Amino acid sequence: MAVGGVGSSPATSALAGSRQGIADNFDTFLQILVTQLKNQNPLDPLDTNQFTQQLVQFTGVEQQLKTNQFLEAMMLANQNAGSSQAVGYIGKEITASGTKSELVDGAARWHFAVDEPAQITVQVKDAAGNVVFVKEGNVNKGESVFNWDGIGSDGSKKPNG
């Protein structure tokens, strides 16, 4: 599994650009509002309803900026958490559920568990579903490991895969 570097992703960069665009519009909006207030006619002041609407718009834009900042921070934290979780598995061996294993350099391994001592029959099949190796044996209760050396029941070495 490839793990990319921890840093800004294209999505994070796009968010930063979009946030900057909103911030620029927000600054422009504030400048227009302040200019209107400075230059209004004292005999005919700005209509209170219109002024209230502009303040509501101002508050809405401010909330959008804060929401975008929080979303960006959450997205970045989520990306970093995913990367740091994967880093914890580097150099470790993990076990996953499944019935398949790959023969690599003449070795394949299966882990399994039984609830009580049992007699088992292991069948190894190739990619086409043909049985290439069979082994019977006894196992104790609990977890066990079956290692196969890649030699088929007919004595021939089987190809990797």
18 occurs within a structural domain: yes
* Pair (15, 74) in one structural domain: yes
Domain hosting residue 26, numbered range: 10-87
Distance (Å) of CA 25 to CA 18, 51, 122, 124:
11, 18, 70, 67
Look up the pTM and report it.
0.40
* 151 contacts 108 by C-beta, under 8 angstroms: no
pLDDT of residue 85: 67
Q: How confident is the model over 28-45, as pLDDT tens digits?
A: 877 887 888 788 877 777
* Secondary structure (3-state) at 89: coil
140 burial via Cβ count (<10 Å: 0-12, 13-18, 19+): exposed
Confidence of residue 8 (pLDDT cuts 50, 70, 90): very low
The answer to whether position 35 is within a domain reads yes
Phi, psi dihedral angles at 37 (to 5 degrees): -65, -40
Return the closest-CA partner of residue 58 out of 35, 19, 31, 39.
31
Asked whether residue 3 is domain-assigned, the answer is no
CA 72 – CA 80 distance, rounded (Å): 12
pLDDT class for 2, splitting at 50, 70, 90? very low
The proportion of the chain whose per-residue pLDDT surpasses 90, expressed as a percent, equals: 3
- Give yes or no: residues 14 and 81 share one domain: yes
* Cβ atoms of 143 and 113 closer than 8 Å: yes
Tell me whether residue 26 is in a domain: yes
| Structural domain includes residue 2 | no
What is the count of structural domains for the chain? 2
Reading the block at residue 36, the tokens are 């209107």
CA distance 138 to 18: 65
Cα–Cα distance, 88 to 92 (Å, whole number): 8
SS3 state at 116 = coil
Instruction: Answer yes or no: is 124 within a domain.
Output: yes
Q: Are 132 and 152 in contact (CB under 8 A)?
A: yes
Same domain for 15 and 76?
Answer: yes
pLDDT of residue 82: 63
Cβ atoms within 10 Å of 103's Cβ, excluding its own: 19
Same domain membership, residue 83 and residue 112: no
